Every structure is written in C-alpha cells, then in structure tokens.
A and B are shown apart, each in its own frame.
Chain A
Amino acid sequence: MILRIAFRNLLYKPLYTILCWLLLTCSTTVLLLLITLSRQAGEQLERQIDGVDMVLGAKGSPLQLILSSIYHLDAPTGNISLAEAQPWMQHPLVASSIPLSLGDSYKGHRIIGTTTAYLDKLRLKPATGNTFHHSMEAVIGADVAEHTRLTVGSRFAGTHGLGESGHVHEEHAYIVTGILPRTGLPVDQLILTPLESVWDIHETAQRQITAVLLRFKSPLAQLQFPRMINEQTNMQAAVPAIEVNRLQSLLGTGTEVLRVLGWLLAALAACSIFVMLVQGTYERRYELALIRSLGGGRSRLLGLVLAEAAILGLSGVLSGFLLSRLCGWLLQQQILTRYHLHFSGMWRLSGAEALAASLILCACLLAALLPAIRAFRLNISKTLANA
C-alpha cells in the first residue's frame, strides 16, 4: 500500500518527477558510458599490442609510429631501408619479426605490404580463398569485402597515399585471393599483400619498408634494443606498452573532466530529489498525519518518503543504463569503426558500473533521509488541529 501511494504521489506531481528522473538518467548515462568506453578502449588498445614487444621504424614521434603500424590510424613516420632493418630482424634474441610497408590504399582501406607472419601472429586464415603467395596477390579483411564488394578473383588498383583520392596505380592491378573472417580488430579494415607488390609498384632503387613489428625471446632484449637502436642507427624503436600508457593518460584527462561532470549531475539529481521531497512532505503533511490517524505507524511514513526516492532512483538508474547502451551502440555505428575499435559484451554490467549505479541510488536515499525523518517525527495532533 505504501509503495502504491509513493508511486501515485510521484505521478501526481509529474513535472517534478520528470525533472528528477531526467537528471538521474543523464548522470547515470554519462557515468556508465564513460566507464564502459574507457574500459573497452583500454581492452582494445591492449589486445592489439599483444605479441608486439617493439616497433622499428623511421625517426619521428614514437606514438605516431605505434598508431600507424599497429592501430593503422595515423600517417607513417617515413620509410627505412630493408637492408638496415634486416640485422635486427634476424638477431638471435628476436623470436619473430613482421615487416610492414604502408603507403597505398583502396577506397580508404590501407594496403599493407607484409609477410604471412602477419596472419600467423593473429592466428588467422582466410575464411574463403587462400592466403597470398606472389606479388600482386591480396587478402582482404571482412569489412573491406563488405564495403567494396570485392570477392575472390576480383581485380583492383591501389591509390597512392592513404586518402580517398590520389594517383591510381592503374598499370598494376591486385587480385584478391582470400577474404579473412571477421575479428573485430583493425585487420578487418585492411588489405594485405606481399612486400614484393609494394616494391613492384613503386620501383625504387633500394628496397624500403615502413616498420617492423618485433617480438623478443628474452626480456633482456626489451631492455637493450630500444636504446641501441635509438642511439646507434638513424631508425627509431618504440615500445607499444609505453606509448599506449601515454595515450591512455592523455585520454585520461578528458575522461576525468567528463567523470566530474557525471558526478556533478548525480549530485544535482540528489539535490532536486531532496528539494522535491522536503517540499512534498511539507505540502502533504496533512496527508502524512492522516495516514497515521488511519492506523499507519510512524515507520510507514518513513518508508513512504524513502520509497518515493527509491522508485525515482531505480527508474533513473535503469533508464540511464539503457540509454548508455544505446549511446554506446550509436557511437559504435558512427565513430568507433573509423578508429577500428570494436566493442563487445554490451549488456554486461561491470563491477565499476554496478558500483557507480549503486552510489547514485545511495545518493537518492541519502537525499530522502532528512525529509523521511521529518515525516517520522511529525506532530500529528498539531498538524491535524491546524489544518
């Protein structure tokens, strides 16, 4: 009965109720979305550097080198000569090395000259067709196949540069030999081809590559290699783990601002609930006294006020949860695919999210505590006599 009255009271003052509910929904959405996004982005960033201990490339920004060679986001820092990189690739402390050559694209999808070691590292085999063996053969990612409608046996010509427009290497056509299964990783957006294709198209005197992804046999190399390369050669060594940390701390500042904003909204929601209930219990003091005069105990009045806050809090947190998932899904559709981020486990509620949600609920109940105690201690005789 008390729950029913609480519910009816909320509906009886719809404007106040909607204001509180909106504030709660917004704050929950911002906080949950933020927690999910930063967790998922962190997981994604770390999943992709898995198995890469060091990246060898041209001098420049180490972050740019990592972004271009692992995440396929930024422009490459430049090229290095294969001859210069080879001693490091074949070093006894190196477990595996994957050379990459970037520079061309097809309809916005990057064409990566590499070896089959790239697919081995991801433990990938084409879902249809075969892997590449010869120059000008290409294996395409699942998104590329969907977007460009290329199939096994199709021919296409690459565009110079990473943009949509540029010189088209029409005299050299690639042939698709295989299509990769969908992975949720950047490789879905890539076209992979042997290094020789890139060299055949660009016909330079010296064989050049853009970067090498290295995995070491021992942690000793992890300590020695970067310093040796950066000091003794005119190449650059970047450690993905360090750069990812740097990137996350750069993003962290922005996240922090949004997080503060989210909690401010939650505080505002709690304040509005407080004001609504203080005013409500004052305006309805006769009703509260009436409930007691009709046989409801003092604890019923306490429960009534707390129930109103709890109903608001629960519905706000629930709709905030749903909205945060909807926003996450929309972001996924609109923006994140461009950055090769793929979110999974949308409906899972993580520990941090559950904590934020329950903190918001606690804030609602805390805001209701003072009005609830006031209702509990209401002087019914005086209230009824003065009505």
Chain B
Amino acid sequence: MLHTNNLAYTYPGGELLRFPDMECAGSQTLLITGASGTGKTTLLHLVAGLLRPSHGTIRVAETALHSLRTAAMDTFRGQHIGIVYQQPHFIASLSIQENLLLTGRLVKKAVSLERLYDMAARLGIRDLLHKKPAQLSLGEQQRAAIARALMPSPQLLLADEPTASLDDQNCAAVAGLLAEQAREQHAALLIVTHDNRLKQLFAHHIALS
C-alpha cells in the first residue's frame, strides 16, 4: 500500500535529510520512531503529500505521489490518505458532524450518514456530533480526529504523535483503536512517534537517527 524508495528531502536552508526505505501493506502497522529533530514529521508530510521530496519515490495505492501536481495531490490526499495530527484541530465554526463529513464533501466522495453514526458510535462520540469542537475535551477531540481520518475509507492512515498528550491508559486505547480501525478497513497504518510506550504494542518499527 505504501512504498518509498531512496527518499530524501532538502530543507530551505540546504540541509539534506535521507530516509530509510519503507514498506507497509494493507492492514499492517509501521511505527517510525526517533528523537525530536530526526525528521519524523517531515517524513510524515512527505508521505502525506504535504511536502515534495527532493529525491526518491513514494508510491501510495499504486500511485506515484511524488509526480502529482498540487491540485491533484490535494484531491488524492483527501480520497486515499487519512491523517491524525498530534493536536486535534477542527474547523471551529462547524459542528463535529460537519467536520467529519468535510473530507467527503471536499473531494466529492459520497459518505453515508449511517457510516458516520456507526463510526461515531464505535469511537464513543455519537452524542457529541452536534457540538462545536471547542466544547469537547481533549480526549474526545482526539477520537473525533481519528473518526475524521477514517471517514473517507482511506487506504493509508497516518498518525503524527497521536499519543503524546495521553496518559498510559488512554495511550494504549488510542493506539489500539487506530490499529483496529486500520485493520478493519484494510488500510496501511503509519505512526510516527517518540513515545516508547508504543514500541511494545507494534512489531514493525523503523528508527530514524
């Protein structure tokens, strides 16, 4: 599902960062670990198509991501890649329900309300759908962000430090939830983190240095 080869990124300052090759099949989870400053977020942004690599190739769902133009890249990302950020952010003026439906509407991909309610129920936010994001607790926002990433049935699910701000119990719960949802949808799950607690939960990791 995800396949990178010889990936490198040049920062605006000229510093070159090389990344090890990665491969992650559907329903699999790959953990990218490393201390801060090792380019974890840069790697995630490259794979998400938010940044362009200076060298190498990225293939997501049989598409050469690195060769897409900006507009096509935005649409491809909306259709095939779900991203969970470290800080759950939403469109503040829209309700949670509208936030969850946003991706489908932006890329004109039909999403049924049934699927939304089902997803919300499984993540325990069924009663919060009509609320504004600011009215939710951090943990609820985190779960809503996961629901949003999963709504359009992505083939690749990316998570950037999803557990950094959570206690041990919630950390395990969120990690389990991500892995379970990705497995159910046959999506590849890529988690970048410096959280050592996650290393015990997932078998495949690549460490950046």
Q: Which residues of A contact B (CB under 8 A)?
A: 1, 4-5, 8-9, 11-12, 284, 286-287, 290-300, 380-381, 384-385, 387
Contacts and interface: CB of A to CB of B under 8 A. Distances in A.
B178 interface: no
Given A381-B45, A387-B85, A291 B106 contact: yes
A300 B107 CA distance: 11
Nearest to B149: A294
Contacts of A297: 70-71, 74-75
Contact of A290 (B48, B79, B89, B152): B89
Given A1-B105, A297-B70, 14 more contacts: A4-B98, A5-B91, A11-B93, A12-B93, A284-B92, A286-B89, A291-B91, A291-B102, A292-B74, A294-B77, A295-B74, A295-B78, A295-B107, A384-B85
18 contacts: A1-B102, A1-B105, A5-B94, A12-B93, A287-B89, A291-B91, A291-B106, A293-B83, A294-B77, A294-B78, A294-B103, A295-B74, A295-B78, A295-B107, A295-B152, A296-B74, A381-B50, A385-B45
B173 interface: no
Contacts of A286: 89
A232 B204 CA distance: 116
A298 B70 CA distance: 8
B27 interface: no
A244 to B, nearest CB: 55
Contacts of A292: 74
A161 B172 CA distance: 99
A4 B75 CA distance: 20
Interface string B23-55: 000000000000000000100010010110000
Nearest to A380: B50
B87 A387 contact: yes
Nearest to B132: A12
A297 B89 CA distance: 19
**Interface residues on chain B, size class:** 20 to 34
Nearest to B101: A1
Interface of B: 41, 45, 48, 50-51, 70-71, 74-75, 77-79, 83, 85-87, 89-94, 98, 102-103, 105-107, 148, 152
Interface centre among B50, B70, B79, by most chain A C-beta atoms within 10 angstroms, is B50
A33 to B, nearest CB: 34
A5 B93 contact: yes
Contacts of B45: 381, 384-385
B94 A295 contact: no
B71 A298 contact: yes
Nearest to B151: A294
Nearest to B78: A295
Given A297-B71, A380-B50, A384-B45, A287 B92 contact: yes
A258 to B, nearest CB: 38
Contacts of B106: 1, 291, 294-296, 300
A5 B105 CA distance: 12
A85 B146 CA distance: 98
Contacts of B94: 5, 8
Nearest to B41: A385
Contacts of B85: 384, 387
Contacts of B98: 4
Nearest to A287: B91
Contact of B102 (A294, A299, A385): A294
Contacts of B152: 295
A297 B45 CA distance: 16
Nearest to A1: B105
A8 B92 CA distance: 9
Contacts of A11: 93
Contacts of A8: 91, 93-94
Interface centre among B71, B74, B89, B103, by most chain A C-beta atoms within 10 angstroms, is B74
A384 B74 CA distance: 15
A11 B91 CA distance: 13
Contacts of B83: 293
Nearest to A283: B92
A25 to B, nearest CB: 23
A293 B48 CA distance: 8
